Amino acid sequence: MKSISPHRLREHQFPQEHSCLCPDCSTAYRDHALGPGEIILCTCCGRRLKKYHDPHALQQSWALTTASCLFLFMANATPMMVFDVSGNTQSSFMITGVESLFAQGYWPLALLVFLSAIALPTVHLILLWYLLGGCSLKRAWPGLSSILSIVELFMPWNLIPVFAVGVMAAVLKLEQLGQIHWKSGALWIGFLALSSLMVTLSFDRSLLEQRIADIDARDTKSS
Ligand SMILES: [Zn+2]
């Protein structure tokens, strides 16, 4: 990665919109457009001030998040497996585990599973979809900045991949008791685990912050 030394300058030398301050040491530097692989580092403290961003990265993340929302819906709407013990069959949905934990009196655990595997990932994906949608389309949808903070807060609570591994482990145990027939829900959970992992990896706070700032600056200028 090629690093560009920022043009250090005194604050009064350039109009405010062309100069930026290093958040760590307040050295002023001239902001300019970067090419692929380039970054701007602060010459005083070494902090990364700006990085080149692929202009299509947001659209790709948005498409990935849209797919994840769809997978999440399908994972909840279709049965994961059918469990067969000596002729008695039972279909399992994602919510079935929560219900049976609750019925057996383990309600704190039921609540934890419900929040970490169903409720929080759903809220997280919907908010992320809204945020990426606004940023990709360069629309000043209300609350983008606050949603960015909320989404970041929820990031560690997206436990879908952990849930998928947990299901696999539980199934291996259950197979000693009866027969398991996989259903399409399991496939959707697999897709969801993979896509939400990719969404987490592609999340780039600085890119989103920059885009929100660009949208705000454009709207301030035009109004
Ligand atoms: Zn600095």
pLDDT values of the chain reduced to their tens digit, one per residue, 223 residues: 455 555 544 444 444 556 778 888 988 888 778 887 788 888 889 888 887 777 788 999 999 999 999 999 998 899 888 888 888 887 888 888 888 888 999 999 889 888 888 888 899 999 999 999 999 999 999 999 999 999 988 877 667 777 777 777 777 777 778 888 888 888 998 899 899 889 988 888 888 998 999 999 888 888 7
For residues 154 and 32, give the distance between their C-alpha atoms in angstroms, rounded to a whole number.
33
Give 56 Cα–ligand 1 centroid separation in angstroms.
29
**51: enclosing H helix or E strand:** strand 48-51
Question: Which of the listed CATH numbers 1.20.140, 3.30.70, 3.90.25, 1.10.287 matches domain 57-222?
Answer: 1.20.140
Instruction: Give whole-number Cα distances, 122 to 9, 73, 145, 173, 183, in Å.
Output: 47, 9, 20, 28, 22
How far, in whole angstroms, is CA 191 from its chain's centroid? 15
Q: If we measure between CA atoms, which residue out of 87, 106, 53, 46 comes closest to residue 178?
A: 87
How many Å lie between the centroid of ligand 1 and the Cα of residue 81?
55
What is the value of pTM for the model shown?
A: 0.73
Residue in the structure block whose two tokens are 């606050």:
146
Cα 42 to ligand 1 centroid, rounded to whole Å? 5
Measured in Å, residue 15 CA sits from the centre of ligand 1 at: 20
Distance 29 CA to ligand 1 centre (A): 9
Could you tell me the distance, in angstroms and rounded to a whole number, from the CA of residue 24 to the centre of ligand 1?
Answer: 5
Distance CA 66, CA 34 (A): 29
How far is the C-alpha of 45 from the C-alpha of 41, rounded, in Å? 8
| CA atoms 61, 111, 146, 140: torsion sign | positive
Residue extents of the structural domains in the chain: 2-51, 57-222
